[in-house]
A and B are shown apart, each in its own frame.
Chain A
Amino acid sequence: MSQRKIRESDVVASDLGGRRSARHFRFSDVAIYVAFVCLFVLFAVSLKDVGNGFASVGNLLTILQQTSLIAVMAVGMAFVLGAAQIDLSVGSTVGLVSLVTALGITQFGLVLGTASALLVGAVIGALNGLIIAVLRIPAFLVTLGTMITVAGVSRTITNLQSIPITSPDFIFVFGGGNVAGVPIVAFWMLATVVVGHLVLKKTPTGRRVLATGGNPRSAVYSGINTRKVIFGVMFASSLLASLAGILWAGRFGGGWYSLGDGAELSVIAATVLGGTSIFGGVASVIGAAVGAVMIGMIDNALVLYGLNVYQQEIIRGIIIVVAVIVTTRRS
């Protein structure tokens, strides 16, 4: 309907309709989905007879459960990279948050414990955001510093001990619970992705992020407070990392410093695989989530192929590099 109106009022820009997407079609925009389908088919066929088979419902749900947490963080990373920033501290935030969750629940109970965990994420995010946006220090350096600091704090506060969580309610809501056969973490992922996608594509906030990442100077000239945007994305990323940390604690059944160790690399890889530009300005929340699931799918398949951990790492590394080449190349 809107298109008809535009056609009536305007001769020059008459073809706003269906053809526009074809006109500016870029393979790199859909490469992730093509790759996803191809890999899925490949694994489903070649691993048909291993155990229950790769494509069995049970196995697919396992994959979903394992990748949901990375996907939650990848949603935040899509905003961060979209604003031409980076956040290396998400992995170690998960570890600290899982410990704070476990300690908080034993001390203050379920609600306050979870809230204190989110507060930790908020503090880390605010620190990252303030140092990057106000002092204008590159995000890479700042979050490298917070990554190391936070990892150190997690190792210190419980002396490398893990802290168990015994509350069955917590474990159900944030961890091992199932609703209608689907792991509950998948719902957390779905909620994050839906909200993230809408914010990115449909609200002024999302467009400010992409404008800031695309050309910060033109963003300023368009009346956008780019510092506020940068603070916002760093804050959101840490907050989502702490949600992932809570979920991780739920799945593990407690807090431990090494939860989420190195997850930042999977998160960044998943986001870039999903079509988000590492140079900013272009981002896709759905792509990031699909990228995360794809990495999980590859990991799962490599296990089913019978490769040991180190062989898995070799193959996974190669696949990620190839996939990133395919999805990020602009012809």
Chain B
Amino acid sequence: MSGVALELEDVSLSFDGVHALSQLSLEIRTGEVLGIAGKNGAGKSSLMKLIQGIYPCQRGKLRFFGNEIASNANRSECQKFVSSIFQDFSLVPEMTVAQNIYLGIEPRRGWFIDERTCFRTVESFFERMGISIDPMEKVKNLSTSDLQLVEISKAVIRDKKILLMDEPTAALGANQVGNLFQLVSRLQREGITIVFVTHHLRDLLGVCDRIAIMRDGTAVHIGQSKDLTVAEIVRHMLGPAVERLEERRPARTLTDDSSPILEAVEISSRHLPKPISFVLRPGEVLGLVGLKGSGRTEILKSLFGVDPIKSGEIKINGRVCPVRSPKEAMKRGIALIPGNRQLEGLCLFHSLYFNAQLPWMDRIKHGFFINDRNGKRTVSELVSRLQIKTAGLSTPVSKLSGGNQQKVVIAKVLATQPKILLMDDPTFGVDIQVKVEIAQIIDAFVRAGNGVILVSSDPQELLLNCNRILIVKRAEIKGELTGISSGEIGEDDLEAAIQ
């Protein structure tokens, strides 16, 4: 039990001169559960990809059970030892559990697959691990948490000694998390080494022996989890004196008694089982903070009519307005910048102009036909106002950078002249320059008396932009943070609040 399963020695990794990992050293003992914590961009996923063999080890040494992996080694070198358990599972829905576990490595009897041996091995493994799944059940009939257990079993039966788990608890309820933790400790007793990566810090503390906290591509603190608390982990994640995007702007004048521009009264939808209420005032930026999957995106989708409300009311300027489709939402002045610009925001092979004019082309109709001259004038004004870098309006958006694609989405939405702007993680994957520009766009928008609801996975961004922040947990609003502009609330408060 005391051997070293995985060893990283002074590992550095950089892409185009940007350091993803720098001089990271880490030792994981056989049979240990090591947790990894860190903000977005701290290097967690680079580390995962390095261990899986997706990224080569550019500098430093990577060893599995004492075997060094050469920098030019094939990915399969790593995959002999490591298996990763991700959100999207590699299971075939129409096959049984046992067939999936043995897919590609089926034991044979003569020419045929020895189904009995498969079944028996899986059954006895499940028994030993306390998993109550029928090996003959088709995978399509299993719940998400069962799928995860099958995926883990598949890896272990295939003799992988190291398991990487990326956000394994995100989609699970409290009971199921308990089951997973039980399995983890049984695997541990069998000598399986587990690397556990998650934003759910309480889960880390609950299951890990040690926790490595990453910042700027290296492990800034490694400690026994019994010696750590959520607050301490957050402190290590953020580091000393966090640099600000820019100076905090003075508080926007908001008279609290101004009547709300938008009011959600006890709304519920398919993905929001419990009724939710909140208000948005003119000139206000309301933040929604929560982990991925907490329900923050679902709130926006129900306000925009993508996932229409089933009960409750949406009031706009005090009047009850049904919002049953995005079309209706836009007619009432609500606009959404969707969370995934490539899937929901844009049609990539169409031109910038085509994408930008889509939601409001009826407005530039002249008789039967669209007056593209007017449309292009409006779009090119937006292009220069938002400083979108493009060769021209007919450039396919697939040719633009991520930040500029995001600005095209913003442009197409702003051109509908909304009063209420819902933004779902608008700065995800864009550089700091664009982040600042998007903050300026938000500023200009609310100064005109409009309202913004901002969802972000970056606490710094929420603090920078919001007047008020609601905490979303398990599809419920669990609290409200005010006093942001006065600096009473810090990033650490937010990180702690969402746990």
Is A215's CB under 8 angstroms from B390's CB? no
Knowing A12-B384, A12-B387, A210-B350, say if A221 contacts B392 (CB, 8 Å). Answer: no
B-contact bits for A1-42, CB 8 A (1 contact / 0 none): 110011001111101100111011000000000000000000
Check A222–B326 contact: CB distance below 8 A.
yes
Contact partner, A225, options B325, B347, B373, Cβ 8 Å = B325
Q: With A6-B377, A220-B306 known to touch, is A202 a contact of B383 (CB < 8 Å)?
A: no
Residues of A within 8 A of B296 (CB): none
Is the CB of A230 closer than 8 A to any CB of chain B? no
Other-chain contact of A223, B327, B345, B347 (Cβ < 8 Å): B327
Contact A204 B347 (CB under 8 A): no
Residues from 50 to 109 in B contacting A, C-beta threshold 8 Å: none
Interface size class of B (residues with CB under 8 A): 35 or more
Chain B hits for A282, CB < 8 A: 349
* Separation of A251 and B103 alpha carbons in the complex (Å): 60
Tell me which of B347, B350, B369, B381 has the highest count of chain A C-beta atoms within 10 A of its own C-beta: B347
Q: For window 207-239 of chain B, which residues contact chain A by CB distance below 8 Å?
A: none
Closest to B369 in A: A202
Does A203 interact with chain B (Cβ within 8 Å)?
A: yes
Partner of A203 from the list B368, B392, B394 (CB cut-off 8 Å) is: B368
Beyond A214-B349, A225-B327, is A13–B396 a contact (Cβ under 8 Å)? no
Question: Given contacts A13-B380, A222-B412, is CB(A198)–CB(B369) below 8 Å?
Answer: yes
**A residues in contact with B362, CB < 8 Å:** 204
Instruction: Tell me which residues across on chain A come within 8 A of B391, comparing CB atoms.
Output: 15, 20, 23
A residues 213-231 near B (Cβ < 8 Å) are: 214-215, 217-225
Tell me if B326 and A9 are in contact (CB < 8 A). Answer: no
Closest residue on chain B to residue A7 by CB atoms = B380
Question: What B residues does A203 contact at CB under 8 A?
Answer: 365, 368-370
Cβ-neighbour of B370 out of A16, A20, A202 (below 8 A): A202
Q: Is A129 an interface residue (CB 8 A)?
A: no
Contacting residues, chain A, for B365 (C-beta < 8 A): 203-204
**Does B347 contact A218, Cβ atoms closer than 8 Å?**
yes
Number of interface residues of A (CB under 8 A): 36
CB neighbours of B403 from chain A (8 A): none
Residue of B343, B359, B361, B369 near A217 (CB, 8 A) is B343
Complex Cα spacing A215 to B345, Å: 9
Is the pair A5, B377 in contact by a Cβ cutoff of 8 Å?
yes
Which residues of B are found within 8 Å of A260, using beta-carbon distances?
none
A16 CA to B354 CA, complexed, in Å = 14
A13→B383 contact, CB < 8 A = yes
Q: How far is the CB of B213 from chain A (nearest CB, A)?
A: 37
- Least CB distance from B243 to A in Å reads 29
A2→B376 contact, CB < 8 A = yes
Quote the shortest CB–CB distance from B235 to chain A (angstroms).
39
Helix, strand, loop or mixed for chain A's interface?
helix
Cα distance A9–B370 in the bound complex, in angstroms: 21
Could you tell me the distance between the alpha carbons of A117 and B381 in the complex, rounded to whole angstroms?
50
Known contacts A12-B384, A218-B344, A221-B345; A204/B370 CB under 8 A: yes
* B471 in contact (CB, < 8 A): no
Q: Does B131 contact A (CB under 8 A)?
A: no
B179 interface contact, C-beta 8 A? no
Is the C-beta of B149 less than 8 angstroms from some C-beta in chain A?
Answer: no
Q: Which of B250-308 contact A (CB under 8 A)?
A: 304, 306
Cβ distance B416 to chain A, nearest Cβ, rounded Å? 8
Find out whether the CB atom of B349 lies under 8 angstroms from the CB atom of A204: no
Please, which residues of chain B bring their CB within 8 A of the CB of A204? 361-362, 365, 370
Which of B326, B346, B394 interacts with A16 by CB under 8 Å? B394
| Cα A302 to Cα B361 with chains together (Å) | 47
Q: Closest CB-CB distance, B353 to chain A, in whole Å?
A: 9
* Interface pair A10/B347, CB less than 8 Å apart: no
Give Cα A12 to B404, complex, Å: 12
Is A281 interfacial (CB 8 A cutoff)?
yes
| Residue B330 interfacial (CB < 8 Å) | yes
List the B residue with the shortest CB-CB distance to A207.
B361
Q: Which of B318-347 contact A (CB under 8 A)?
A: 325-327, 329-330, 336, 338, 343-347
Seen from chain A, the residues whose Cβ lies within 8 Å of a Cβ on chain B are: 1-2, 5-6, 9-13, 15-16, 19-21, 23-24, 198, 202-204, 207, 210-211, 214-215, 217-225, 281-282
22 A-B residue pairs with CB within 8 Å = A2-B373, A6-B380, A10-B384, A12-B388, A13-B383, A13-B393, A16-B376, A21-B394, A24-B396, A204-B361, A204-B362, A207-B357, A210-B354, A211-B350, A217-B344, A218-B344, A218-B345, A220-B326, A221-B306, A221-B338, A223-B327, A223-B329
Known: A202-B370, A211-B350. 14 other contacts (CB 8 A): A2-B377, A12-B387, A15-B392, A20-B392, A23-B391, A203-B369, A207-B361, A207-B370, A211-B347, A220-B306, A221-B304, A223-B330, A281-B350, A282-B349
